[in-house]
Amino acid sequence: MNLMAATMIGQAKTVVQAEIDTACELADFLRFNAYFGKKLQEYTPYSPPETRNSYRFRALEGFIAAISPFNFTAIGGNLASSTALMGNVVLWKPSDTAILSNYLTYKIFRECGLPSGVINFLPCDGPVFSSVITKSPSLAGINFTGSVATFRSIWLSISQNLISIGNWPRLVGECGGKNYHLVHASANMDHVINSTVRAAFEYGGQKCSACSILYIPKSKWNSYVKPKLMAAIQDIKIGDATDKNMFYSAVIDKKAFDKISGYIDFARNSSEYTIVSGGKCDDSKGYFIEPTMIETKNPKGKLMVEEIFGPILTVYPYNDDEFASIFQLIKESIYGLTGSIFANDKKIIESALRLLRQVNGNFYVNDKCTGSIVNQQPFGGARASGTNDKAGGPHYLLKWSSPQSIKENFAQLKNWKYSYMCE
């Protein structure tokens, strides 16, 4: 309960979002990582006669730096514990805006028997931490969730220090995306509306997987979807995270508030955009931004290509006969995290699965693009969205281990010469 309360108060998560995060997802990571770790041990190499082959998993030589974000307490716990599970020593640097919940997670680990010095909780200035670890000859890997810019700077710093590091550090990064709902005219529009409201505005859009773009056919937009979405958005209540009537609360800090409100101001002053709903921002007491829906004429404009990480949904109504061209727009994105196709036409779904095969690490059919569950939808994306190592999946732990193959020979070699040489 303390962990859930800290997540609500410190990170402005509503009771539902905090419960999903701390009581469900964190527990799932711990349970399934242990299960996957045990399954790894079941592999036994083939042993021919007079030989015994074995395979064991070793820790990496050096330390792992776990750099966690503010938006999910569970991610912080997973970045640190999954690497420690494979025998590694971990330096855990939490987000400046999630220190309390992450510290409580660390305390729970210790209370459960984690030995001192295995996971080391180190709140620190981000650039200082990155500068120190990327120059250390003992760096064995980095487990990171955060912004594209930060991960790129870390990767660049490591590359510049490789000679002094002396090994090849393992780099795992999950960096967000520009996620979309692609709607075909055959879709159930009420389902699209409800799914989009949740995907775009839960936790104020501060999820790596949050829906940022809605591609919608014009034939459905003006006559049906637009008024329904407007009504739903206007019904959203925002306020104190501890009030059960609130759908979401404040964004995380002033930096985020200024960035998100800046996009709204940009749209307000541009002829390419129309603010359809919301748009008000208030930082007089907390950092509150209304759920905002913006319609655009330009599918390649600023709000359609840049990650915002806030409660802004940009809508591009397309001509119904231009549906196929939307696939190409999506394929051109620098991001590759999540996306959804909504359609009741099976051929359209098959086309989406084929044409968008290389785009998203997590793809959804007739479902919102958020809400992945450990061991149900292992999570991660490629391109600028990260290394796609799939947290919550069976192969994630392999990144944090250095396997060793062992051969025991029971036959005596009686001659160094090959048989054909003796003939």
Same domain, 86 and 162: yes
| Catalytic-role residue among 25, 175, 202, 208 | 208
Known catalytic residue: 19?
no
Tokens of 159: 């590359």
Same domain, 130 and 92: yes
From CA 152, how far away is CA 173, in angstroms rounded? 10
Asked whether 336 and 283 are in contact (CB, 8 A), the reply is no
Residue 377 lies in a domain: no
Residue 417 lies in a domain: no
Greatest CA span in the chain, whole angstroms? 94
From CA 4, how far away is CA 193, in angstroms rounded? 30
Same domain, 227 and 287: yes
Asked whether 334 and 307 are in contact (CB, 8 A), the reply is no
Residue 370 lies in a domain: no
Q: Which residues contact 383 (CB under 8 A, 6 or more apart)?
A: 333, 334, 335, 336
Residue 50 lies in a domain: yes
Residue 263 is part of a domain; what is its CATH number? 3.40.309.10
Domain of 309, in residue numbers: 179-365
Q: What is the model's pLDDT at position 423?
A: 72
Name the domain count of the chain: 2
Q: How far is CA 200 from CA 17, 96, 210, 310, in A?
A: 14, 25, 5, 8
Same domain, 115 and 255: no
Tokens of 285: 């007491």
From CA 114, how far away is CA 378, in angstroms rounded? 26
pLDDT tens readout for residues 245-295: 999 999 999 999 999 999 999 999 999 999 999 999 999 999 999 999 999
Same domain, 402 and 331: no
Q: What is the model's pLDDT at position 422?
A: 87
Residue 144 is part of a domain; what is its CATH number? 3.40.605.10
DSSP run (H or E) holding 273:
strand 273-277
From CA 225, how far away is CA 231, in angstroms rounded? 10
Q: Is the dihedral of CA 334, 337, 341, 342 positive or negative?
A: negative
Tokens of 384: 């600028």
| Closest C-alpha to 288, from 256, 325, 262, 265 | 256
Q: What is the model's pLDDT at position 109?
A: 98
Q: What is the model's pLDDT at position 318?
A: 98
Q: What is the model's pLDDT at position 394?
A: 96
Q: What is the model's pLDDT at position 419?
A: 87
Same domain, 130 and 205: no
Known catalytic residue: 175?
no
Q: Which of 335, 365, 395 corresponds to the end of one domain? A: 365
pLDDT < 50 stretches in the chain: none
Sheet (strand 338-342) strand order: 273-277, 292-296, 312-318, 211-217, 179-183, 338-342, 362-365
Residue 298 lies in a domain: yes
From CA 213, how far away is CA 236, in angstroms rounded? 19
Same domain, 68 and 83: yes
| Closest C-alpha to 176, from 291, 316, 377, 333 | 333
Same domain, 198 and 315: yes
Asked whether 102 and 124 are in contact (CB, 8 A), the reply is no
From CA 69, how far away is CA 92, in angstroms rounded? 11
Asked whether 261 and 280 are in contact (CB, 8 A), the reply is no
Q: DSSP assignment, residue 125?
A: -
Q: Let me know if 190 is exposed, middle or buried by CB neighbors in 10 A (0-12, 13-18, 19+).
A: exposed
Q: What is the model's pLDDT at position 337?
A: 98
Residue 93 lies in a domain: yes
Q: How far is CA 123 from CA 103, 175, 184, in A?
A: 9, 20, 47
Residue 413 lies in a domain: no
Same domain, 230 and 91: no
DSSP sequence for 331-350: HT-SEESEEEEE-S-HHHHH
Same domain, 235 and 131: no
Sheet (strand 170-174) strand order: 119-121, 89-93, 63-67, 139-145, 170-174
Same domain, 164 and 192: no
pLDDT tens readout for residues 79-123: 999 999 999 999 999 999 999 999 999 999 999 999 999 999 999
| Closest C-alpha to 307, from 173, 418, 209 | 209
377-391: b (≥16 Cβ within 10 Å) or e: bbbbbbbbbbbbbbb
Residue 323 lies in a domain: yes
Same domain, 34 and 114: yes
